[in-house]
Amino acid sequence: MLFEKEMKVTGDTDTYVLHPNIKPYALKDVGFQVSNAGNYTLERSVDPTSPYNKNQMLKVVVAKDLSGFKMSTTNASGNARVNIFKGSHAEGNVEQYHFILQNLIDREILKKKD
């Protein structure tokens, strides 16, 4: 998957774009790790009961030149996309998902598309 200018997670009604003021140090401050390719990667559990319970994850990858990003919700191994907006645990998972995204918005990493 190529880096995109805007992304929408499966099941979400909101579309997100990179904030125009995005800075590499802000990515590191919120927990992004630099991959071998130089891209910034963040993986967070959307389980509201424990951040260590990695049944469903939010994965965000920002290009090393900050020109685009990828964002998806996946299973624990990260190889299959999942829709966290459906299922028996949807309410808690979606709340945790929005909490993580709000932190990224507050730190001027992402913003909702107008």
pLDDT tens digits, residue range 12-59? 999 999 999 999 999 999 999 999 999 999 999 998 887 777 788 999
- CA dist list (Å): 55 to 19, 28, 30, 71, 77: 29, 24, 21, 17, 8
* Residue 1 forms part of a structural domain: no
> pTM score, two decimals?
0.91
Look up the CATH number of the domain holding residue 42.
Answer: 3.30.1820.10
Beta strands in the chain (DSSP E): 6-7, 16-18, 33-34, 40-45, 56-62, 69-75, 110-112
Report the mean per-residue pLDDT for the chain.
92
Would you state the pLDDT for residue 1?
55
* Residue 61 forms part of a structural domain: yes
Would you state the pLDDT for residue 114?
78
Q: Which domain holds residue 26?
A: 6-112
* Residue 59 forms part of a structural domain: yes
pLDDT tens digits, 55-105: 889 999 999 999 999 999 998 888 889 999 998 888 899 999 999 999 999
Would you state the pLDDT for residue 43?
93
Domain count for the chain: 1
Residue range 3-18: mean pLDDT, rounded: 94
